[in-house]
Amino acid sequence: MWVDAIDDRDLSDCEREVMGFDHCAVGVALARQWHLPRSLQECIEFHHEPERAREFPIDVAAVHVANSVAVLAEIASGNLADAPPISEAALLLLGMDRKELPRILEETMKSAPELLSLLGADDAPLAPPVVERIA
């Protein structure tokens, strides 16, 4: 599925419009069926809406931020507008400052090739980081 950024809709909105459900709903249904720990279920279900987490809000906030950083690393962008929006509440809950994100992204991009190699995915393309200042 391709999402055109012109109308500013996120992937989950497009998934729900086209298929009637999104990847969060499918993921949490599988996690429940497989009897994964409740903390993982909540992370899967609410990683785009961390404010909805009830039992494990810190875990969900961490996955929420990591998801956006991973998206940026995957597309080699340092522009937060290119990733799912990062909730201010999640950053606050984690004790993070938005100004830390460029450094975190740069470190993620530097460590990604080694991690991919350990996972046997070292042939995956990775562009060099393009990190922009975030005001």
Question: For 58-97, what is each residue's pLDDT tens digit?
Answer: 999 999 999 999 888 888 888 888 899 999 999 999 999 9
Residue 64 forms part of a structural domain: yes
Residue 132 forms part of a structural domain: no
Residue 131 forms part of a structural domain: no
Residue 100 forms part of a structural domain: yes
Residue 129 forms part of a structural domain: no
Highest mean pLDDT among 15-19, 47-51, 110-114, 127-131: 47-51
Residue type, 99: K
pLDDT at 135: 42
Task: Please name which of 70, 67, 8 lies closest in space to residue 43, comparing C-alpha atoms.
Answer: 67
Residue 75 forms part of a structural domain: yes
Mean per-residue pLDDT for 33-48?
Answer: 97
| Residue 70 structural domain | 12-118
Q: Based on the structure, what is the number of domains in the chain?
A: 1
Residue type, 31: A
Highest mean pLDDT among 3-12, 57-66, 103-112, 123-132: 57-66
